[in-house]
Structure 1
Amino acid sequence: MNRKVVHAAALAFLIGGFSASAQSPSPAGTRTPLLPYQDTTLPAEQRAADLVGRLTLDEKAAQLVTSAPGIPRLGVPAYDFWSEGLHGIARSGYATLFPQAVGMAATFDEPLLHQIGEVISTEARAKYNDAVAHDLRSIFYGLTIWSPNINIFRDPRWGRGQETYGEDPFLTARLGTAFVEGLQGDDPNYYRAIGTPKHFAVHSGPESERHRFNADPSPHDLWDTYLPAFRATIVEGKAGSIMCAYNAIEGKPACASDLLLDEVLRKDWAFKGFVTSDCGAIDNFFEKDGHHYSKDAEQASVDGIRAGTDTNCGGTYRNLASAVRKGMIQESELDVPLRRLFLARFKLGLFDPPSQVKYASMPITENMSSSHTELALQAAREAVVLLKNEHHTLPLDARVKTIAVIGPNASSLISLEGNYNAIPKNPVMQVDGIAREFRDAKVLYAQGSPYAEGVALVIPRTQFRTAQDSQEQGLKAEYFNNDSLQGTPAFTRVDRQIDFDWDGSSPVPSVSMKAFSVRWRGTLQVPVPGDYLVAPHITHFWNGDAVEKVTLKFDGKDMGSSAVKLHFDDTRPHAIEMTYSHKAELFGGELSLRWTPPVEPLRAQAMEAVKQADAVVAFVGLSPELEGEEMDVHIPGFSGGDRTDLVLPAAQQQLLEAAKASGKPLVVVLLNGSALAVNWAQEHADAILEAWYPGQAGAQAIAETLSGKNNPSGRLPVTFYRSVNDLPPFTDYAMANRTYRYFKGKPLYEFGYGLSYSTFSYSNAHLSKERLDAGDTLRVEADVKNTSTLAGDEVAELYLTPPQNGVYPLRSLEGFEHVHLLPGQSKHVSFTLDPRQLSEVDEKGIRAVRAGVYSVTVGGGQPSAGKDLSAQFTVEGVRELPR
């Protein structure tokens, strides 16, 4: 939705302008006492209540939208509640970019997720402090972070599943809680930032229906699958805010659900923070394509406030002042959400002297620090999942002297980034990561195929030359420190392809992010004569006040600024020139030059590289432009951001088959945000890596895994099914036959699966007791040993199998630990299962520890006959647990 970037006006007081000891000067020069909300010695709750009591009705309504304006007469600066930090602080210039959330989940590393949360909020603070120093109070520069996304990835067709921690409630709860605690910090007085688990609570597609869809899960599924992770982040993680979802649940919009927002959140879980709507969710109450819940915008604003949605991403709540004047709602009812919103700002320290708030002094140099960069690399390494390694194809043998790197994801920026991403600085493309790691080998690159036939993608470097008589791949680039290509370039270089994300950033150090321009010149050639659709492409989630222009020339002729069909009579180089100009205060600066090539000639180019190679590395999979949030994509296998099939698109499948037919070793590297039914690759490829959308260090992590420098340890946080036909309808929110906990078929790769270059064994399993009363805890211990000659990481996984009654899950993950082991080294692992972990949810939604015979299994994955340690225990009695 379109919103204007809010810039702070000249305010009477800046943030940090209040002091516990200072007094305000009166016109006569005397000193007047501080008002209560300015007194830092008072409890934050009291200060928030006092400030809210001083607002006029119109000021109150204005403060209930996420882009809250300043109130100069009270020294209240503008504040925008919308900031993103899913896997790096996003949309506010360069920042450290971690793997997409589903990739972070694949690490099965709870302490790592805590560290990542710390880094993201540290960079958010650094950016916020720097912004305030420059009197900038804009969207995406605040400290209320709209992450993590802890919806359960119940179905791999959902395009936004990549943003989640996978399909398992326990894994999601543990990683989500660690992330929230890392974000918010451990200071007893102030948050470093505020986490916002989303989207509360039963929300996982379809994207095309999300503004009107009604999810109606059974009581068992609601409390067994959809709510546990939210409960953990709120009750244990103490998240300071939460976001309600677009869809309805049990016939009411989630942002108007008394079940979710009052009964569960406020009463059962004693939540004290604030609730924000998803963007436009309040509009859905009354819009014609929405829920038909409220008759108009005024009524929708009243319904949202009374249900417990405290702030509206959008403008609907601005109608609250008129609603009060019409008697539709009492002004005092607005004070409740306002006190929560201002309490959050007080607890962030936004009204206190910087010297009193330890986070207020974080310098901008904390952004992208060396330690943050190292953590991004660690996360990318741990996220890689080895799915197949036949005949020890990996690590690649030193005798491999020529490597063919092919596939649409072999040199793709967006497949490193994912969505809701930070902006990486100087990202290394996948093929270049391999070239850097295998310095003694020759690396041949060919794009090989589009993502799917008819889908545009970035023109690869192989089609560009810097000049007519040159063999150097790429285009000559001139960067100007103005938006008009005037004067002498401030910086020149060769850009291998036009595929950049400079959103809110300067492309090179010598030009200003606010006004710059670029000219690229060289030649373009095509693999076979014919017509090619070529298009400069500017992409934005949010461009604020950016003014951007692009021009394209071909053989000296002006081709305009949009997609154009170019006819080639031959395959010789043709002169090409592209210019880009950018002028903006904050945002904008994402562009690429794309083509829609024919499939067969691209594949033929790849086969030329394969013929010369000793081994083939094929980067295939998906793209965040095919799977994601509410997209205008409608091609075979994809619809509106979701998928209609799980198979690899045909063009990519044909590329793999052609590469394998060469007889060369074939290593498949999957870059994607969700499960793929790569049945052919499992049968025919020599090795398969799942690398997700791996972030700024993804190319290095993948290359190091291929070389053996990184020993893979990732585990699948989602089930890889063999076919979409194995699943119930996408719109069915029942968990029957979904996820490893309820799926009764045979998957391609199961949840928790992942191979290593090392081998591990488990021994000495021990239970603290074999009979326990309902409500007791159980300790499970075992030893894990590295039985190989290679150091490696192992993920010890504990699964609980309850008595089978047709309602309880087949098994559930209830413990995991990511451990590093030297060759021959053993480590003792211990898991304490509390009553909640030992409980089950019945068909009425009641959670209790119940009598029966249970078993636990400890190993490197799900229980498998004879390969893991299993033990039984008996529970006596019944103990119902609080919701």
Structure 2
Amino acid sequence: MKFIKNTTLLLLLLFPARMLAQQQYPFQNYKLDFNTRVNDLVSRLTLEEKVSQMLNSSPAIARLGIPAYDWWNEVLHGVARTPFKVTVYPQAIAMAATFDKKSLFQMADYSALEGRAVHNKAVEMGRGGERYMGLTYWTPNINIFRDPRWGRGQETYGEDPFLTAAMGASFVKGLQGDDPKYLKAAACAKHYAVHSGPEPARHVFDAKVSNYDLWDTYLPAFKKLIVDTKVEGVMCAYNAFESQPCCGSDLLMVDILRKQWNFKGYVTSDCWGIDDFFKNHKTHADAEDASADAVIHGTDVECGTDAYKSLVKAVKDGKLSEKQIDVSVKRLFMTRFKLGMFDPAELVTYARTPSAELESEAHQQHALKMARESIVLLKNADQTLPLKKNIQKIVVLGPNADNEISILGNYNGIPSALTTVFKGIKAKLPNAEVVYEKAINFTNDTLLVYADLAKRCAIDGKAGFKAEYFDNRELAGAPVVRHEADLLHNWQEGEPVIGTIKARDFSARYTTNYQAGEQTSITFEVEGDDGYRLKINGKEVLNAWSRNRWGSQQYKLITDPGKSYELVLEYWQGDGKANVRLSAGRYEKTDIVALQDKVKDADAIVYVGGISPQLEGEEMKVNYPGFNGGDRTSIMLPQAQTELMKGLQATGKKVIFVMMTGSAIAIPWEAKHIPAIINAWYGGQAAGAAVADVLFGDYNPAGRLPVTFYGSDQDLPDFSDYSMTNRTYRYFSGKPLYGFGYGLSYTRFKYDQLSLPASVKRGTSLRVRITVSNTGAVAGEEVVQLYLSHPGSKTKSPIKALKGFERIALRAGERRVLTFTLSKEDMSTINANGGMQQLSGKIMLSIGGSQPDELNVTSGNIVKKQISVI
């Protein structure tokens, strides 16, 4: 540890602020109200100190006993990016597919407990001020998944404003807790407000929408979380809105957020978003102008860069006042006070959360529960599923069959154990022959068959690699050196690498000598974030040093038999997870005929394909066919996968298609020819166990699609067009392959005895009762969905809109009466000016297990009734 001259700073690193200089100042008196304490604290800060607290990485203020704090943390589907092992739940889009508000509430509650445990451990270790150790989580993502090509749509709750608002509210309530004084954790609604790709253009894009679309589609979920659920934070988006950057938008930030909705919490920019003002949007001259304008518009924290440091000069230059700085700083400290960060631990229940909460048994069981609930049965011809457990041989193949990256999704933590589909099936059938083959890549049928690289690499007389680690990004200074058997590393940010070097802002050099033997060629594959370069015999053959999120690249080396080649791989890591890998092998084209012969005696074939977070996600350097920059250029299942399934189907064996994805995939051939299809999303740590439970009937699936599965690319408007015309089930005029709300079961349900009045007065609520019965032979769950439409209305409105849902469990033969109460807002529409109005005339109401015109064969019937609004 470096010698620290400042004794007070050393004490701050070792002890919480509440243990220093207690009761010296009113802000330290926990008997006073938060407003009094916050005002007192901020009054004691210099301008420079105030500005320092407006960066996501806020330094300690030693003279006042204020510890360092980093606002940046994530909890999308479990605590993310922490160096500690945590529970990983299904990706957000998968949790939306559960249509289970109670399960999502419970998941958020458990995640907040684990977040508290992480924070408490970090404080004990003197790391409480580090990134991903805090209690301000920049989740949930409640953007509307308007276009299936958007790579970050997997982080959302789907395409419907009502579902998104309901699920988002449950998440916020679970995460923030119900203590009357303290927050368990602070949620943050993002990305405010008109934001959903394309990813490559997000720093320059100017979203333009009508008032109708703004208030009908893009704002309802934000309004719900801000006005009703009291979310603590909001993150403004990268892109511009109506020619102003979102973080500097008059309409979004001032008129709507602060004035109409009276939001009192804090606002953070998206990371590096303030730089976009002057570097990309070109709406501001420099960092000083951009920072001043963002603060004037109510953006309290700047994430990622240090543009806000220019605020000191901006105040002195008269571009804003110090009182305007005070407003932001007070909001920020209010959140920290509400989290109990300045009070004795004995007064803050959550501050005593033990490490035993991390990956507790209850949390792991809930991860399995939500993975099961998220699975959507899309097709089950001739009752192909469930499979019998007494089968002798089953073949599990495909690029996602044993892919741990896919089940973890993005913005994820790392669990101690996880289950892929192959492992789940193998555990389910201990006495059967379970054969695994990758068989194919996501987008092509030519595999790199990996060799054991470590056996051919040696240095200093030992097999493996010489590893040099530097405590900076530039490979500068004296490294820490060790010998490593192979080169395959994954670190969470902040996790120890070696000695005092942690997985953030570090670099490494790996050196070895590769012995060609009798080989005449070898293909080296490098994977890494953020930057890397590969040298062979001193010549640079791969260079991704200056680019982020490169993923993997390959170089084919023509070798002389018996010759030795020096390999040097250099790597640096900034923010986020650290990942570096060097592997090698030879390419082999998939031999479908040979594969058919290998599986011909199988009792069943489970093909696990789809796509992966390796292909879709946030601003990625991916350009495989059908993918670009994290987004998709086509929603079609890659043709290579369809061709393989045609070959498998030709064997005459039962073929089950298990699809993993974070977005809608068009599968027209599979929908027609494959007898059983399930969508398993990115199911979290228990994904494989959940899939196995569904395949073999230990769990009856009831997940529903939170997005429309279109039939082809021709169904989609231009990606960059933010108009909702012909988008999502609410406005799509065509016929989808599988509609929003669709999902099958192993049992059947019946709806009857719909009870509601023939008319309702404008401005009043409506109560609806329905009886749901399980008429099948096995127990099951049903997602009851209520939709409204306004037939014959001359005022623009959705074709149909979800206004109520409930997931229920019924034993065979059991029936239950459900009650829905529709508010006057539920029965209203948006006018051209963005205002809400309740129409007179006819309203069509439908209740069933799917949309009113997309009958689920297992839901039996949909009950409809037209009523009058008078």
> How big is each residue's C-alpha offset from its partner over 1:67-120, in whole Å with a ceiling of 9 and x where there is no partner?
110000011100000001101111112211111100000000001111111111
> How big is each residue's C-alpha offset from its partner over 1:342-401, in whole Å with a ceiling of 9 and x where there is no partner?
100011110111111111001112111111100100010001000001111111134532
Moved more, 53-62 or 157-166: 53-62
Work out the CA distance in 2 between the residues paired with 1:83 and 1:777: 40
Following TM superposition, by how much is the alpha carbon of 1:583 offset from its aligned partner in structure 2, in angstroms?
12
Q: 1:773 and 1:429, CA in 2 relative to 1: closer, same or farther beyond 3 A? A: same
Pick aligned residue for 1:242 from 228, 234, 238: 234
Work out the CA distance in 2 between the residues paired with 1:670 and 1:575: 44
Partner of 1:296: 286
Q: Residues 801-820 of structure 1 correspond to what in structure 2 (within 5 A)?
A: 801-803=789-791, 804-805=793-794, 807-820=796-809
Partner of 2:842: 853
8 Å Cα contact 2:609-2:657 kept in structure 1: yes
**Which AA in structure 1 matches 2:78?**
G
Partner of 1:117: 108
Normalised TM-score (structure 2): 0.87
8 Å Cα contact 1:454-1:596 kept in structure 2: no
Partner of 2:10: 10
Determine if the alignment matches structure 1 residue 666 to structure 2 residue 655.
yes
Work out the CA distance in 2 between the residues paired with 1:585 and 1:593: 19
Pick aligned residue for 1:778 from 743, 760, 766: 766
Determine if the alignment matches structure 1 residue 378 to structure 2 residue 335.
no
Partner of 1:651: 640
Q: Structure 1 stretches of 5 or more lacking a match?
A: 1-7, 25-32, 469-475, 490-494, 554-560, 877-883
Work out the CA distance in 2 between the residues paired with 1:577 and 1:607: 41
Partner of 1:207: 199
Following TM superposition, by how much is the alpha carbon of 1:9 offset from its aligned partner in structure 2, in angstroms?
4.7
Determine if the alignment matches structure 1 residue 790 to structure 2 residue 778.
yes
Q: 1:575 and 1:646, CA in 2 relative to 1: closer, same or farther beyond 3 A? A: farther
8 Å Cα contact 1:503-1:590 kept in structure 2: no
Q: Residues 345-744 of structure 1 correspond to what in structure 2 (within 5 A)?
A: 345-453=336-444, 533-539=523-529, 563-565=554-556, 590-592=579-581, 598=587, 600-601=589-590, 603=592, 606-744=595-733
Work out the CA distance in 1 between the residues paired with 2:382 and 2:565: 47
Following TM superposition, by how much is the alpha carbon of 1:782 offset from its aligned partner in structure 2, in angstroms?
0.8
- Quote the RMSD (CA, aligned, Å): 3.7
Q: 1:399 and 1:375, CA in 2 relative to 1: closer, same or farther beyond 3 A? A: closer
Q: Residues 141-152 of structure 1 correspond to what in structure 2 (within 5 A)?
A: 141-152=133-144
8 Å Cα contact 1:14-1:77 kept in structure 2: no
8 Å Cα contact 1:409-1:619 kept in structure 2: yes
Following TM superposition, by how much is the alpha carbon of 1:321 offset from its aligned partner in structure 2, in angstroms?
0.5
8 Å Cα contact 1:453-1:599 kept in structure 2: no
Q: Residues 196-235 of structure 1 correspond to what in structure 2 (within 5 A)?
A: 196-235=188-227
Q: 1:302 and 1:600, CA in 2 relative to 1: closer, same or farther beyond 3 A? A: same
> How big is each residue's C-alpha offset from its partner over 1:532-579, in whole Å with a ceiling of 9 and x where there is no partner?
533242346xx9xxxx999999xxxxxxx9844256999xxx999999
Work out the CA distance in 2 between the residues paired with 1:705 and 1:464: 36
Work out the CA distance in 1 between the residues paired with 2:113 and 2:414: 16
Following TM superposition, by how much is the alpha carbon of 1:513 offset from its aligned partner in structure 2, in angstroms?
9.5
2:600 match: secondary structure: helix
**Which AA in structure 1 matches 2:866?**
Q
1:199 match: secondary structure: strand
Partner of 2:29: 39
1:664 match: secondary structure: coil
> How big is each residue's C-alpha offset from its partner over 1:856-877, in whole Å with a ceiling of 9 and x where there is no partner?
111111113782111222112x
Q: 1:431 and 1:594, CA in 2 relative to 1: closer, same or farther beyond 3 A? A: farther
8 Å Cα contact 2:466-2:481 kept in structure 1: no
Once the two structures are aligned, what percentage of the paired residues are identical?
Answer: 43
8 Å Cα contact 1:413-1:500 kept in structure 2: no
8 Å Cα contact 2:375-2:678 kept in structure 1: yes
Determine if the alignment matches structure 1 residue 870 to structure 2 residue 864.
yes
Work out the CA distance in 1 between the residues paired with 2:578 and 2:275: 30
8 Å Cα contact 1:66-1:80 kept in structure 2: yes
Partner of 1:95: 86
> How big is each residue's C-alpha offset from its partner over 1:781-810, in whole Å with a ceiling of 9 and x where there is no partner?
111111112111111111111234361001
8 Å Cα contact 1:616-1:664 kept in structure 2: yes
Pick aligned residue for 1:763 from 737, 741, 752: 752
Q: 1:726 and 1:568, CA in 2 relative to 1: closer, same or farther beyond 3 A? A: farther
Q: 1:220 and 1:531, CA in 2 relative to 1: closer, same or farther beyond 3 A? A: farther
8 Å Cα contact 2:447-2:590 kept in structure 1: no
Determine if the alignment matches structure 1 residue 78 to structure 2 residue 72.
no
Q: 1:621 and 1:41, CA in 2 relative to 1: closer, same or farther beyond 3 A? A: same
Pick aligned residue for 2:52 from 58, 62, 69: 62
Work out the CA distance in 2 between the residues paired with 1:444 and 1:578: 36
**Which AA in structure 1 matches 2:49?**
E
Q: 1:206 and 1:734, CA in 2 relative to 1: closer, same or farther beyond 3 A? A: same
Following TM superposition, by how much is the alpha carbon of 1:590 offset from its aligned partner in structure 2, in angstroms?
3.4
Q: 1:774 and 1:106, CA in 2 relative to 1: closer, same or farther beyond 3 A? A: same
Work out the CA distance in 1 between the residues paired with 2:197 and 2:605: 37
Partner of 1:262: 254
**Which AA in structure 2 matches 1:738?**
R
8 Å Cα contact 1:449-1:602 kept in structure 2: no
Partner of 2:4: none
8 Å Cα contact 1:801-1:855 kept in structure 2: yes
Q: 1:286 and 1:504, CA in 2 relative to 1: closer, same or farther beyond 3 A? A: closer
> How big is each residue's C-alpha offset from its partner over 1:397-452, in whole Å with a ceiling of 9 and x where there is no partner?
34532111111111112111111111122322321111111222211111111111
**Which AA in structure 1 matches 2:649?**
K
Work out the CA distance in 1 between the residues paired with 2:675 and 2:758: 45
Determine if the alignment matches structure 1 residue 108 to structure 2 residue 99.
yes
**Alignment: residue pair count:** 818
**Which AA in structure 1 matches 2:770?**
A
Work out the CA distance in 1 between the residues paired with 2:211 and 2:797: 13
Following TM superposition, by how much is the alpha carbon of 1:276 offset from its aligned partner in structure 2, in angstroms?
0.3
8 Å Cα contact 2:21-2:65 kept in structure 1: no
8 Å Cα contact 2:92-2:156 kept in structure 1: yes
Work out the CA distance in 1 between the residues paired with 2:835 and 2:572: 58
Q: 1:499 and 1:681, CA in 2 relative to 1: closer, same or farther beyond 3 A? A: farther
Following TM superposition, by how much is the alpha carbon of 1:206 offset from its aligned partner in structure 2, in angstroms?
0.8
Normalised TM-score (structure 1): 0.86
Q: 1:774 and 1:569, CA in 2 relative to 1: closer, same or farther beyond 3 A? A: farther
Work out the CA distance in 2 between the residues paired with 1:602 and 1:479: 38
8 Å Cα contact 2:528-2:571 kept in structure 1: no
Work out the CA distance in 1 between the residues paired with 2:750 and 2:783: 12
8 Å Cα contact 1:415-1:624 kept in structure 2: yes
Q: 1:178 and 1:599, CA in 2 relative to 1: closer, same or farther beyond 3 A? A: farther
Work out the CA distance in 1 between the residues paired with 2:220 and 2:570: 49
**Which AA in structure 2 matches 1:867?**
N
Q: 1:441 and 1:539, CA in 2 relative to 1: closer, same or farther beyond 3 A? A: farther
Q: 1:688 and 1:582, CA in 2 relative to 1: closer, same or farther beyond 3 A? A: same
Q: Structure 2 stretches of 5 or more lacking a match?
A: 1-7, 457-462, 470-479, 538-551
Following TM superposition, by how much is the alpha carbon of 1:650 offset from its aligned partner in structure 2, in angstroms?
2.0
2:845 match: secondary structure: strand
Following TM superposition, by how much is the alpha carbon of 1:327 offset from its aligned partner in structure 2, in angstroms?
2.1
Work out the CA distance in 1 between the residues paired with 2:214 and 2:576: 40
Q: 1:253 and 1:67, CA in 2 relative to 1: closer, same or farther beyond 3 A? A: same
